[in-house]
Structure formats: C-alpha cells, structure tokens
C-alpha cells in the first residue's frame, strides 16, 4: 500500500474473473476506495496492506480442479469482514470446512432467490428478488457456524453467512446490474457491516495520485505519448500537475487521426494548458509502414512497434528521460490478457501501450489510470479542469483509423473514413447534447457512449443521379455502455439514423450506402477491426 492509499479501503481478491474488476468499480461507485490483489496473497502480506474489508471475486474454475486458484485460509482469521461472490462463495465454504458439489442443473442468467431469516447483508431488500447467476458448482454443505440466508429452486445455498465473524457470501453476482438489489447489498456490507464512510471522491483521488507520482518520479524526466484521446489527455494533465515541466508530451501524428484532431491537440495542450509538447509529423513514415498490410493484429503490431521507435528517437533528443507515462486503463489490460492480470485472461486484442519495449529501450512506467474505467477517467478529467470537448470526446484506439479501415490502408480510404466519421460524430454529438439538456445526465439511458464510422473493404452497386455507381459502404457503430466491458447497440431514432445516412452519401465522395451495426458486446467488441 502506498503512502497515498486512503486510511480505509477494500481489497478485492481476484480469482481470474473476466469481469472481476467490476467489483472494485462498484465499490468505488459508492465512494469507498478499493484495490485488486492476487487471490493467493499470503495473509500476513494482506494484513500489512491494512485493508478495512475483503471481497472475494468470482472466477471460471472449479474449486476442486487441480489448478484451481486458492486462497490462504488464514485471511479468514484476520478479523476482517469478508464478502464472497460465486467462486469466492465456494472457496470460502471449502476453506472453512464446508463442501461444494457439481450440480445436475446449472444457473446462467436471472434467477429468483427467496430469503430465509434476518441478515444484515439483505437489510431493506424484499423476501424475493431477482439476481444474476452463472454457475454449475454449488455449495452443498455450509461450514460450521454458518447459516443459509437465501436459496433458489436449484441452488439450496444461494447465500450464507456467519454474522458473528462478519463472513458473508453469495452464489450470485451483486456487482452486476442485472441483480436488482445488488447495489443495496454492497451498501449494506460496506456501511452497515464494515462501518466504512463514503469519502473517496475525485478531489481526493487527484491529491493521492499527485502524491504518488511525485514520490515515484522525484527529480527525473518523464515522457508521455499523447494521442489526444481521453486517457492520455487525463494522464498528461495529472502528471503535469504533479511534476510540471519535468514532463514532455510527445504527440505522434501517424496520419490516421480523426478530422481536426491534430489541431485540437495543439490548441488544448500547448496553448491552453501550456504543457511541453513535441509534435512529430510521421504521416509518411506510417504510410510506408502499412502499405499492403491487411490483418488488423499486424497493423497494431507495426503501429505499436513504430510508436516506440519514434518515442526512442524523441527521448534521445530530449536527453536524460528515464520514465514513460501511459494512459493505460483497466479494460486495456483485461482485453490484452496483459501483465497485470498475470496473463491469465484471454487476449481479445493487443494495445500499443501494452506491447513490450523494443530491445535496448528502458523506461520506468507511470500508469496512474491502470485501475480506472473510462467514465471514471472522464470524471477525473473534469476535476482536473480539462475542457469538456476533450474529456467527452469519443474513445479512440491507439492505431487510429487504421483498424477501422478493413483491409489495406490507402490515402483514398483514409479520406473517405475521416469525412464519414466526422459526420457521425457531429450528428451524435448533437444527439447526446439534446439528451443531456433533457435529462441532466451525460450517460443517460439512451445516450450513445461510443460512436464512429467503419470502412469495409467491399463495394456495392448503387444509383446516384440516375446513374449506376459502384462505390463503398460505410458502417456506423454506436453503443450504450458505462464501462466498456459490456455494451449494447444504441437504439437511435430513425430520423437521426436517416440524417446520418443522407449526409454521408451526399457529402462523402466514393460512398453510396450506409449500414448500422446492431451487435452487442459480447459477442462482438465495441471496436471494429
């Protein structure tokens, strides 16, 4: 635990769940600080961190599998309140002398639990309620001193507790939105059982992160890759607040940015925030690099590798640079199956800021956002005083439009996609602004969380001006989400979709058709490539 870690915090023991970080996120939503720690952390090491409470995450394994993740049983003797979910529920049972068995019938999705008896965890919730289940194994015998507090038709131990020792667990997932009273259960645990206070705010976060960065950096020089996206922009503002002109931001313009973005980066960071900024014009360099490349992962690899080469060149010019600041956020790490998850999560896509350094390049890393989700990053940006147009701009992958162009990247395709994407952003920016004026919420029920255009490598026949055309289609992608881990396609009004389509076909040469992607995540990803 760093010196800046709050006096009270919740340690989340991660058993390898793809969405385990959401638990920490839900705790932070309630203004209580949380940290992710490995599930097999020794009890004495965990105690030294000084947590106020523990939460045991779910996980994909069976507790009886040979390679099943385990927990040090001594953590239950630390006197700390503990709450386990799913796999955490099962591993608590086994560690304390209970039993888990393979059920004949699994539960996947919504389930109806029936409460039994009084429970501080369920205080203020109805006797029957809908929860989200995802399991085949189940607790068959509770440990000594525990009582069953709820059940379903197929799961006799949907939750259990030993109130005297402040040990609670549920087979279901309170952290997901589909559990209708999940937030109340977390509130009951954090504030009712643990006696914590809701004191972790964005202002506190800034103070903590500034202190951490100053302690980590000392008098050393730092370089940061500024893409102009939300993540790197917030890191730039945060690190600059901590160490001032010890930071140099390097903006690598690879020519695949959205329309008007290079100009915005210059205006916001150099002119408004007065952050030391080096603008590297690498458009031709990247064009040669990507010539003939069609595979998305190869595009990412080449762009990422070249990114580091450019950085190395600029760091040498600056001289004495020892540290690299990055805008890595937690969804990047999860999707990359990267170092901070122990490499256990499956790799969905690589991220340029998670690719190892080229041989001979050595920087100490500063990644102050690596446990934050996108909307938390935006909140932090607002608190740091970044302009709204920067904070609420659309998420954008490091490789830029290169991965939203299916197939080879060419100057013609880039021009088409830049113009089409500008129309999509302009129309949906206006749509979101109207919803914000009506609701007062930036991420209201029907607002678009992310939206962009995609250019597939196909052509189709059309009719324009009484003449046959053979031109390109544009795919429009717009989703509703809060954390990028799951997303649903945005239910846009037909008039909005119609206006986007009409404008793209009318204003973008080489396009004769517009289609709309209605696939949620999962099974798709938000991004196209």
pLDDT digits (tens, 9 = 90+) for 435-446: 888 877 766 656
The SS3 call for residue 202 is helix
Residue in the block written with tokens 């929860």? 131
The SS3 call for residue 474 is strand
Which of the residue ranges 16-30, 345-359, 372-386 would you say has the lowest mean pLDDT?
345-359
Q: Which residues contact 16 (CB under 8 A, 6 or more apart)?
A: 39, 59, 60, 61, 69, 341, 342, 344, 345
pLDDT of residue 358: 59
CA 168 to chain centre: 28
Question: Annotated catalytic, 175?
Answer: yes
For 510, what's the count of Cα atoms within 13 Å in the CB-facing half-sphere?
15
| Active-site hit among 39, 86, 155, 249 | 86
Provide the percentage of residues in the chain whose pLDDT is more than 90: 59
pLDDT of residue 353: 52
The SS3 call for residue 252 is strand
- Summarize the confidence of residues 328-344 as an average pLDDT: 54
- Summarize the confidence of residues 416-429 as an average pLDDT: 96
- Summarize the confidence of residues 227-244 as an average pLDDT: 92
Q: Which of 19-23, 203-207, 223-227, 450-454 reaches the highest mean pLDDT? A: 450-454
- Summarize the confidence of residues 293-321 as an average pLDDT: 88
pLDDT over 70 at 331, yes or no:
no
| Active-site hit among 175, 208, 480, 527 | 175
Q: 4 falls in which pLDDT band (50, 70, 90)? A: very low
pLDDT over 70 at 134, yes or no:
yes
Provide the percentage of residues in the chain whose pLDDT is more than 70: 91
CA distance to 445, 448, 495, per residue, from 500 (Å): 21, 14, 9
Residue in the block written with tokens 């003797």? 77
d(CA 110, CA 133): 6
* Measured CA angle at 97 (ends 91, 103), to 5 deg: 55
d(CA 225, CA 327): 8
- Summarize the confidence of residues 123-128 as an average pLDDT: 96
DSSP lists the bridge partners of residue 109 as 133
Q: 347 falls in which pLDDT band (50, 70, 90)? A: very low
Which of the residue ranges 100-114, 168-182, 276-290, 403-417 would you say has the lowest mean pLDDT?
100-114
pLDDT of residue 281: 93
d(CA 501, CA 516): 9
Domains in the chain: ranges and CATH: 10-193 (3.40.50.880), 202-391 (3.40.50.620), 410-516 (3.30.300.10)
H helices present in 129-282, as ranges? 182-187, 202-217, 230-243, 261-265
CA 110 to chain centre: 24
Q: Which helix (H) or strand (E) holds 332?
A: helix 330-336
d(CA 396, CA 51): 36
Tens digit of each residue's pLDDT (9 = 90 or more) over 158-178: 999 999 999 999 999 999 888
| Active-site hit among 89, 173, 254, 352 | 173
Q: Which of 18-22, 197-201, 260-264, 450-454 reaches the highest mean pLDDT? A: 450-454
pLDDT over 60 at 340, yes or no:
no
Structure tokens that stand for 177 in this block:
């939105």
Q: Determine whether 285 is exposed, middle or buried from the number of CB atoms within 10 Å of its CB (0-12, 13-18, 19+).
A: middle
Who has greater pLDDT, 120 or 66? 120
Question: Annotated catalytic, 86?
Answer: yes
């Amino acid at each position: 635990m760093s010196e800046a870690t709050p006096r009270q915090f919740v340690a989340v023991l991660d058993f390898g769940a793809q969405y385990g970080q959401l638990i920490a996120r839900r705790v932070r939503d309630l203004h209580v600080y949380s940290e992710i720690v490995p599930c097999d952390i020794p009890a004495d090491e965990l105690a030294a961190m000084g947590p106020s409470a523990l939460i045991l995450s779910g996980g994909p394994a069976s507790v009886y599998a040979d390679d099943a993740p385990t927990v040090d049983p001594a953590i239950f003797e630390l006197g700390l309140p503990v709450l386990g979910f799913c796999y955490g529920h099962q591993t608590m049972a086994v560690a304390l002398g209970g039993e888990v068995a393979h059920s004949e019938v699994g539960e996947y999705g919504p389930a109806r639990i029936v409460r039994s008896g009084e429970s501080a965890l369920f205080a203020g919730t109805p006797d029957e309620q809908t929860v989200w289940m995802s399991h085949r194994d189940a607790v068959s015998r509770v440990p000594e001193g525990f009582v069953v507090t709820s059940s379903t038709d197929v799961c006799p131990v949907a939750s259990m507790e030993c109130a005297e020792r402040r040990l609670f667990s549920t087979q279901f997932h309170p952290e997901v939105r589909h559990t209708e009273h999940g937030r109340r259960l977390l509130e009951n645990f954090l504030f009712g059982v643990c006696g914590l206070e809701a004191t972790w705010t964005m202002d506190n976060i800034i103070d903590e992160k500034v202190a951490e960065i100053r302690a980590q950096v000392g008098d050393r020089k730092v370089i940061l890759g500024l893409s102009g996206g939300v993540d790197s922009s917030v890191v730039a503002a945060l690190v600059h607040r901590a160490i001032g002109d010890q930071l140099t931001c390097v903006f690598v313009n690879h020519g695949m940015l959205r329309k008007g973005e290079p100009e915005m980066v210059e205006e916001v960071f150099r002119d408004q925030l007065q952050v030391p900024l080096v603008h590297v014009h690498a458009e031709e360099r990247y064009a040669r690099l990507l010539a003939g490349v069609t595979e998305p992962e190869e595009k990412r690899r080449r762009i990422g590798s070249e990114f580091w080469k450019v950085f190395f060149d600029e760091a040498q010019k600056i001289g004495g640079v020892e540290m690299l600041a990055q805008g890595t956020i937690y969804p990047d790490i999860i999707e990359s199956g990267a170092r901070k998850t122990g490499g256990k999560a499956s790799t969905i896509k690589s991220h340029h800021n998670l690719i190892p350094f080229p041989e001979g390049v050595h920087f100490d890393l500063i990644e102050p956002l690596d446990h934050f989700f996108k909307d938390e990053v935006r909140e932090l940006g607002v608190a740091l005083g970044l302009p709204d147009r920067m904070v609420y701009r659309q998420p954008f992958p490091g490789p830029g439009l290169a991965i939203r162009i299916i197939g080879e990247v060419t100057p013609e395709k880039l021009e088409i996609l830049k113009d089409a994407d500008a129309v999509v952003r302009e129309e949906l920016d206006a749509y979101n602004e109207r919803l914000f004026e009506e609701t007062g919420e930036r991420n209201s029920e029907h607002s678009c969380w992310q939206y962009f255009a995609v250019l597939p490598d196909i052509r189709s026949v059309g009719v324009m001006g009484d003449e046959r055309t053979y031109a390109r289609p544009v795919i429009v992608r717009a989703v509703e989400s809060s954390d990028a881990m799951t997303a649903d396609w945005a239910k846009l009004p037909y008039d909005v979709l119609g206006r986007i389509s009409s404008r793209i076909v009318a204003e973008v040469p080489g396009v004769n058709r517009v289609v709309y992607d209605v696939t949620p995540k999962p099974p798709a990803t938000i991004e196209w490539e």
